[in-house]
Structure 1
Amino acid sequence: MALVDLLLCTLALAGAVPVLVLTAQVLASLPALRPAPLGPRRPALAVLVPAHDEAGQIAGTVATLRAGLTPGDRLVVVADNCRDATAAAARAAGAEVVERHDPARRGKGYALDCGYRHLARTGLPETLVVVDADCSFSPAGLDRIARLSAALDGPVQAAYRLDPPPQASSGLRLATFATVLKQIGRPLGASRLGWPCGISGTGFAVPTRLLGTVGLANGHIAEDLKLGLDLALAGHPPRFCPQAEVTSALPAGAAARRAQQTRWEHGHLSLIPAYAGRLLGAALRRGDARLAAMALDLCVLPLVTLALAEAALTGLGLAWWALGGGTGPLLIAEASLALLVLAFGLAARRWGGGLLRWRDLAAVPRLVAGKAGILGRFALRRRSEWVRTERAGEGPSVG
């Protein structure tokens, strides 16, 4: 009995760690954002836009990005395994275009590698900024992130905001809030604690000389998060720039949203065992607490998934107590679950203003059921191949 008590207490304590990390990030994110000074120097840069079948919106993206360029900057669109007029539309809008055709190697990582190699052959600038083809990045935001990357001589991630469609359902509002917390609230709190942040895949800048220390060409479904972890292990943990914001639309269709969430969560979960230990080991060897912070942040599961895990630990502790075991596992799990509820309430007040309504909570059971399905598929048939997210107004994607 004592051994089982010890094992269950250890499990409950391990489950409490990500809750404590999340709570610390939420608390640090509560104060209002203040203006920050611009970096002293704007480097020469190239904006790289990986695009797969984006003919309908690539021209608008290129036009927005061109407005933020200065003489000597470059804008390169990688038309990756496209079956539509993406390349022609991007050229007509004024971008350099590289066409890549390799159906056997699919994924954004391969597209980024193709664009980087094109720049290396034709004149590598000091800084590379990556923006997805369905995103908007203001000239001021582009300028700020490039300056901060040059000042820090390291990778920098902008605040990535996914906006809900008009007349969004309660489920969409909750999903939007969870995304805002993950992409803006938590990174902001981490930054104020002196911690690095992950890379969100769009709206990030990195000195091009650092890209030679990591491998871009991969088909991982969370290539963005993987890139940030690889850069951290190479000695360059990414930093967060909340004053620069890149925006996109949350997929309106349920199938597209489910596919996007599945890709994000399966990719995240697959990277935890692959990188958490490596980051902690490197932190100890180098005496670099930033790497330990990245390991802890990596272990924070998405909000609903974390709540399910804590509820399961509480149920396990309750069952053990009912069978005559000790109360330690139950008390630890209950305290952790209560702290998670408190963190959710504080985050909702800070980051859900103007978005969440009390009646949106009625959609929580449906959201939990969908999340349970995603976790079940990870255990039984996890996604390992990149699939493009369907855009608003499109039919189901076959690419």
Structure 2
Amino acid sequence: MNQLFNFFLLAIAIVLLIPIIVLWVECFAAVLPERQRLKETPSERPTIAVLVPAHDEAAGIDVTLKTLLPQLTKQDRLVVVADNCSDETASVAQAAGAVVIERHDSERRGKGYALDFGLKFLASEPPEVVVVVDADCLVAEGSIENIAWLAAVKQRPVQASYLLTQPPNPSPASAVSLLAFTVKNLVRPVGLAQLGLPCLLTGTGMAFPWSVIQQVSLASGNLVEDMQLSLDLLIAGYPTIFCAEADVTGALPQDRKAATSQRTRWEHGHLKTLLKQVPRLLKAWIDQKRFALLAIALDLCIPPLSLLVMLWCMATIAAIAFSLTVQMYAPLLLLMVEGLLILVAITAAWAKFTRHQLPLSTLLAVPLYVLWKVPLYIAFWVKPQTKWVRTERDLAKSQEL
């Protein structure tokens, strides 16, 4: 019986080792000196259409549009898709200078349907590049041209750096959430780029050549439509390029209910995608023999950081109790090595990318953050979220942005 339980714990430790090693490799690559890249001379600027899907965003969309309009030329278009809105989103966007199209469909709700509606509108006079920006984000000067040009030259999807701004007085949970978001959206994509590998799309600040975006269907209510889109394009032969020179920022929700709603949608969608799409990617890798497919399958195997730490803690506690009882130490030793890899990866990521915004004490709040997320993960197994739900905005923050 003891041998059987020892084998069981060892198997769990080995399963956890896969995402932990991948996380460590990506974070380690990200902190290495930036590798030299060949500088290409910019070709003629492509024609650009910026699509902004918006659902009840009247309170803050004008600020987003004001960061976009100065980056566009006369040949470009800024199109807002007012999707199932019950407020003044359409009139506010139109007054700001955007072309506005309205969609009303109470059955088919979600960002994917809004984007599909926008693409059909553009089809009569298609641009060379389509850029997608969420209605609650700020786009740094020059970012639209950077990602649009790269998408046109490489004929591949491009993802800008998408980060969240820190609240004025962040709670420990908010600080750790910001660190986890930065690791996922900046550190790991930078690491993959350093290794010459593609990344996943992160939802806003995305650029697509028109011929490429036509290869897949966007019309779905997927909770993480961006992740699904990047996988579909990858399998079709169009891996995503990360562009660290383009910056898009959003606001971290300060309201606890809004933050929980947002994290639930993201992480339930992530877990569903992990369980469903990793086998699909592995099959595509075997069929196509493209290493990028295996690399993204392994990247996708990394669960949300808090869940990874939670699973490691549970396995380690069980291994400690077992080792003290029967003096079999192999699972515990392997788990200790894994814990060290997690600590080194996150500390290195913090040191290079967030130490100026977040104090080192942020790492000490990780256990509290993990405990806060326990109900979210229990809900995934008991009653997973299946429908897209808009995250409530912080009005004051929207006005600041």
TM-score for both structures, normalised by structure 1? 0.94
Query: Could you tell me whether the CA contact under 8 Å between 1:177 and 1:355 is conserved in 2?
Result: no
Please give the root-mean-square deviation of Cα atoms over the aligned residues, in Å.
Answer: 2.0
Could you tell me which amino acid in structure 2 is paired with residue 277 of structure 1?
A: P
**Distance of 1:38 and 1:54 partners within structure 2:** 38
Query: Could you tell me whether the CA contact under 8 Å between 2:134 and 2:204 is conserved in 1?
Result: yes
**CA-to-aligned-CA distance 1:104-161 (integer Å, 9 cap, x gap):** 11110110111011111x3111111000001111341111111111121100100001
Could you tell me which amino acid in structure 1 is paired with residue 9 of structure 2?
A: L
Report the equivalent of 2:140. 138
**Distance of 2:87 and 2:35 partners within structure 1:** 43
SS in 2 for 1:67: helix
Deviation of the 1:34 alpha carbon = 8.1
Could you tell me which amino acid in structure 2 is paired with residue 14 of structure 1?
A: V
Report the equivalent of 1:209. 211
Report the equivalent of 1:125. 127
Query: Could you tell me whether the CA contact under 8 Å between 2:309 and 2:370 is conserved in 1?
Result: no
Q: What percent identity do the matched residue pairs reach?
A: 42
**CA-to-aligned-CA distance 1:187-234 (integer Å, 9 cap, x gap):** 001111112111111001011212222110000111111111111111
**Distance of 1:102 and 1:35 partners within structure 2:** 49
SS in 2 for 1:240: strand
Report the equivalent of 1:327. 329
Query: Could you tell me whether the CA contact under 8 Å between 1:158 and 1:243 is conserved in 2?
Result: yes
Could you tell me which amino acid in structure 1 is paired with residue 28 of structure 2?
A: L
How many residues align? The count is: 394
SS in 1 for 2:303: coil
Deviates more, 1:44-53 or 1:338-347: 338-347
Query: Could you tell me whether the CA contact under 8 Å between 1:43 and 1:126 is conserved in 2?
Result: yes
Query: Could you tell me whether the CA contact under 8 Å between 2:35 and 2:194 is conserved in 1?
Result: no
Residue 101 of structure 2 is aligned to residue 91 of structure 1: no
Report the equivalent of 1:182. 184
**Distance of 2:331 and 2:279 partners within structure 1:** 25
Unaligned runs of 5+ in 2: none
**Distance of 1:32 and 1:250 partners within structure 2:** 29
SS in 2 for 1:369: helix
Question: Relative to structure 1, is the Cα distance of residues 296 and 331 closer, same or farther in structure 2, using a 3 angstrom cutoff?
Answer: same
**Distance of 1:35 and 1:170 partners within structure 2:** 37
Report the equivalent of 2:56. 53
Question: Relative to structure 1, is the Cα distance of residues 161 and 113 closer, same or farther in structure 2, using a 3 angstrom cutoff?
Answer: same
SS in 1 for 2:395: coil
SS in 2 for 1:195: coil
TM-score for both structures, normalised by structure 2? 0.93
**Distance of 1:117 and 1:39 partners within structure 2:** 33
SS in 1 for 2:243: strand
SS in 2 for 1:168: coil
Report the equivalent of 1:104. 107
Report the equivalent of 1:230. 232
Report the equivalent of 1:272. 274
Task: Select the residue among 260, 282, 286 that pairs with 1:258.
Answer: 260
Report the equivalent of 1:386. 388
Deviation of the 1:32 alpha carbon = 5.5
Report the equivalent of 2:31. 30
Question: Relative to structure 1, is the Cα distance of residues 35 and 72 closer, same or farther in structure 2, using a 3 angstrom cutoff?
Answer: farther
Report the equivalent of 2:12. 11
**Distance of 1:316 and 1:308 partners within structure 2:** 12
Query: Could you tell me whether the CA contact under 8 Å between 2:192 and 2:198 is conserved in 1?
Result: yes
**Distance of 2:250 and 2:307 partners within structure 1:** 24
Report the equivalent of 1:305. 307
Could you tell me which amino acid in structure 2 is paired with residue 117 of structure 1?
A: K
Deviation of the 1:363 alpha carbon = 3.3
SS in 1 for 2:208: strand
Deviates more, 1:316-325 or 1:140-149: 316-325
Deviation of the 1:3 alpha carbon = 5.2
Deviation of the 1:8 alpha carbon = 3.5
**CA-to-aligned-CA distance 1:7-32 (integer Å, 9 cap, x gap):** 43233112111111111111111146
Deviation of the 1:271 alpha carbon = 0.4
Deviation of the 1:329 alpha carbon = 2.1
**CA-to-aligned-CA distance 1:304-357 (integer Å, 9 cap, x gap):** 211111112223333443453743222222211121112122112112211222
